[in-house]
Amino acid sequence: MIISGDWAILPGVKTLEHGAVHMNGSRIAEVGTKDALVAKYPEAILRHHPHCVIMPGLVNAHTHLALTALHGVVPLTGEFDSWIDHITRAVLALDGNDFAASAASGATDCLLNGVTLVGDIVYGAESPAAAGDIGLGGVFFWEVLGITPAELPDTLARIEFPATPADQCPSRTRCGLSPHAPYSSGPDLLRAMKRTATDLGVDFVIHAAESPAEMQLLASGDGPFAAKAKRLAHGFQAPGAGAIRYLDSLGVLDDAVVVHCVHLLPGEAHLLADKARGVVLCPRSNALLGNGRAPVRALLDAEVKLALGTDSAASNDDLNLFAEARALQALEPRLTTARLIRMMTEDGADVLGLGEHFGRLAPGYNADIIAVEVGDTGHPLEALLALGDPARIRMVVSGGVARALGGMPTFSTIPIRNAAAQVTSKAARAVRD
């Protein structure tokens, strides 16, 4: 099959007029102009999308798909410590089937938003299985918190984390580990999880420097999170330092993916550039939860590798990555359109450790391709960022399979949405009781 549009986005966010992609099964075979590829492969089916940009599937580098059904269950009042308490109550009321139903709904939303790759936080094997069934790829990070290192092996076995590389996640996905955050995992657990990730050769992600409450806890040991840390973060003592320096002092920052980084202290942006694999920014979720604005300029000046995420549907309006990019550009106008598109595609894949296979329209890469209508314009990149929206996504292909056409999924979503609605009701009851 050949997919073509008025433009295609090539690696480095270069535009090719009348660009096209020739797929061979689940991989990209060749990229060129429509006329050249049609002449070279006359037997191939052609799907041309006029007034569209053909680009790699988007990379939502931080999600919680298992929380999709919790959208609207807890109001976003800008009080993070209260919100997290209520969300925790809802999550504890759910079981594996609920997480699977919620993740399937979230994976569907991702595809309809043009996202084909995620960095997702999970509580067991249900989310990667459900997302994989629908065609979503990515790195799925098993979250662990509130235990001691001695409990880690049994906990990982109970939540079905793959014990060996041979037991890894389904096709197009990888498995990773997440100790959640400095206030919910003690220093010994943080070290133990980083060692486990290194020994197994899997990826490691952590939420850090997200909220004022976290920073107060790290600075002085008190504040809204003090009780949480006492209950969950065994062995924690306030380091009197910022979150990034604290993680580095424990030896867990090397090659880590760090999410949020809203509250950085002087020098920590450069520390992230030196040690971490990259940072995932979630500007709309940070704003809705009252956590503030990430210091984007400092991160840019330090040359930190940046990716973009929506966070969960429980802490955001939707899973629209284009809207997230527009929100980030409003925070830091110095961010160019090309850099934002790169963050949503190849840089996002690089931060997740999947840049050799995803995030670019190039031969040998996974055939994850979307077509986005931008109208009759001479400035396709600017139009793409300004107009990008699910209603303008004309085609979504992941792994060489069409998952959405004309804004509609190619599979039945009725059972998926019905199952998720039941989870929503169950979670709402738990929060009310």
Task: Please give the full DSSP string across 50-96, using - where no structure is assigned.
Answer: EEEEEEEPEEEEEE-GGGGGGTTTS---S-HHHHHHHHHHHHHT--H
pLDDT one-digit tens code per residue, 5-17: 999 999 999 999 9
Mean pLDDT, residues 341-350 taken together: 98
Does the predicted TM-score (pTM) go above 0.85? Answer: yes
Reduced to 3 states (helix: H, G, I; strand: E, B; else coil), residue 433 is coil
Q: What is the pLDDT of residue 170?
A: 53
Q: Is residue 44 predicted with pLDDT exceeding 90?
A: yes
Asked if residues 154 and 126 have their Cβ atoms less than 8 Å apart, the reply is no
* Contact (Cβ atoms closer than 8 angstroms) between residue 418 and residue 425: no
pLDDT in tens, 113-137: 999 999 999 999 999 999 999 999 9
Taking alpha carbons only, the member of 223, 203, 195, 133 closest to residue 170 is 133
**Mean per-residue pLDDT for 169-197?**
92
Residues 6+ apart with CB under 8 A from 378: none
Stronger pLDDT, 402 or 407, i.e. the higher one:
402
How much is the mean pLDDT over the chain? 95
pLDDT attached to residue 162: 85
Over residues 391-395, mean pLDDT: 96
Q: What's the pLDDT tens digit per position in 242-300?
A: 999 999 999 999 999 999 999 999 999 999 999 999 999 999 999 999 999 999 999 99
**What is the per-residue pLDDT for 78?**
87
Q: What are phi and psi of 410, to 5 degrees?
A: -90, 5
Report percent pLDDT > 90 for the chain.
95
Could you tell me the domains of the chain?
8-56+359-409 (2.30.40.10), 58-351 (3.20.20.140)
The separation between the first and the last C-alpha atoms of the chain, rounded to the nearest angstrom, is 54
pLDDT band with cut points at 50, 70 and 90 for residue 165: low
193-220: per-residue pLDDT in tens?
Answer: 999 999 999 999 999 999 999 999 999 9
DSSP 115-130: EEEEEEEESSTHHHHH
Residue 143 pLDDT > 80: yes
For 264-279, give one letter per residue: b (16+ CB within 10 A) or e: bbeebbbbbbebbbbb
